[in-house]
Structures are given as structure tokens and as C-alpha cells.
Amino acid sequence: MTRHYWMGGNRSYEQDRFFEASLNKAQWQRAKSAEDWQACWYTGMPGPEYFEKVGPE
């Protein structure tokens, strides 16, 4: 069974390469979209507008 991984966020490939290298290539392939994955690697800081929408009430 092939599983899919997705990488997102504000980042460079240098932050992703260790995650991607740790996956067994025979079992994992990169997802085509952010909606279809079994493992996600999300790095980087979200934009300031995100913090305006979340936080303590």
C-alpha cells in the first residue's frame, strides 16, 4: 500500500529534507494536494494575520 505525505508551511527545502529522507521510498510518495495524505510535515511560522484570528478569548 502506497501512502502519501504532504509538506507545507513557510519554509525552505533545507527544513524538509530530513523528513523526506526518513521515509521509505517504496511505501511513501508525495501527495498531489493538501487534502490527501497520511503524514504531514508543516514547518515555519504562519503569517501575522493568523495570530489575529486565534488566541485566548
The predicted structure's pLDDT at residue 43: 85
Mean pLDDT, rounded, of the chain:
87
Portion of the chain with pLDDT greater than 70, in percent: 96
Instruction: Please tell me whether the overall predicted TM-score, pTM, comes out greater than 0.95 for this model.
Output: no
What is the residue type of 52? E
The string of pLDDT tens digits covering residues 43-55 is: 887 778 877 877 7
Cβ proximity of 55 and 42 under 8 Å = no
pLDDT level of residue 10 (50, 70, 90 thresholds): confident
Instruction: Report how far residue 32's alpha carbon sits from residue 36's, in angstroms, rounded to the nearest whole number.
Output: 7
